[in-house]
Each structure stands twice: as structure tokens, then as C-alpha cells.
Amino acid sequence: MTTGNSSSASSPPAAASPTDARPAFAVRLLGSACFTGYFPFASGTVGSAFALALYWVIPGMDVWWVLLSASLVFLAAGIPVASAMERYYGKDPSEVVLDEVVGMWIALLLLPKVWFLALGAFFVFRFFDIVKPSPARNFDRMHGGFGIMMDDVAAGVYANLVMQAVRLLW
């Protein structure tokens, strides 16, 4: 879950020190998932919905290896990006929602592209991202991009396991 400091574009947030430069445009674009992380409230939910929309509209995203590859690429890119944004905005900033994108895609992995399963994955992922059962909670306590990204990866794995069970029962 992304909680943190909101900031105006004109002044650095309270967490920024004089040596912390504002992250580059490309870092903010990626880390905030096309600026959805700057939504004034529930930015994690907005980022998760953005991930679901991308999954739904991009052809081939329901192919397991495409979705897994995209998740791994954005996870690898997200660690340094989230670290840079954390240095400027503070611990686990709400502006970073790339972690929600990756976690949401993991929640959808190996599920058929059916609207009610995708919507179920969204809600189950949001639940686990907010509640953070261990080890997600342990990652959430870490500083830096690794912890920011991995707590949502864990929530995505939990959500995927639940949705796989739902799929088997369905």
C-alpha cells in the first residue's frame, strides 16, 4: 500500500533534504504509472485500476509469459525508480504506484481473461495490499525501492493464489 507524503509541484516535500533533487520526469512518469500516483486520494487503488485497464486493453497481456515478462521488467525497473522517488518524497510515497501495477499484474497471472475474475483479482489484491499479511508486512517496513516493490509482489502472489482457488471452484 502506498502511504506517504503529498507534495505540491512548486516546493519539495518535507522529507526532501537540500541534496535530494526532484526525480527526473521519466522517473516520475514510470514510478507514478503515468502520473496516476499523483491522484489526490487512494492513489494505490487508482494505480491498481490503471494496471487492470492496461491488462484489459493491451492485446496479448493475458498470455502468461507476456504478463510475467512485463511484471519482471517493471519490477526490475521499479526498484531504482521507487528508491529515487522515496529519497525525494519520503518513505513509501503515495506517488509511487508502479508497485501496484506489478502486484496487480501478478494477481492476474495465469487467470483467463474473464471480467469477473479480473475484477475479483483487483479487489482481492487491494485487500492484501492494505492488510499486508507477512511477509508483505516485513517488506513494507523496509526502506528503499526493494521493500516498496516487494510488498506489492507478495500481495499479488496472495491474490493470485486466492483467485486460482476461485477459478478451480468455479
Between helices 98-108 and 64-89, what is the axis angle to 10°? Answer: 160
Q: Over the stretch 88-143, which tens digit does the pLDDT of each residue have?
A: 999 999 999 999 999 999 999 999 999 999 999 999 999 999 999 988 888 888 88
Domain ranges for the chain, please list them.
45-169
Using CA atoms in the order 117, 37, 26, 73, what is the torsion angle rounded to 10 degrees?
A: -30
- The kind and range of the H/E element at 138 are helix 136-140
DSSP assignment string, 23-55: PPHHHHHHHTTTTGGGSSS-HHHHHHHHHHHHH
Q: Over the stretch 139-168, which tens digit does the pLDDT of each residue have?
A: 888 889 999 999 999 999 999 999 999 999
CB 20 within 8 A of CB 88: yes
Block residue for cell numbers 499479488: 156
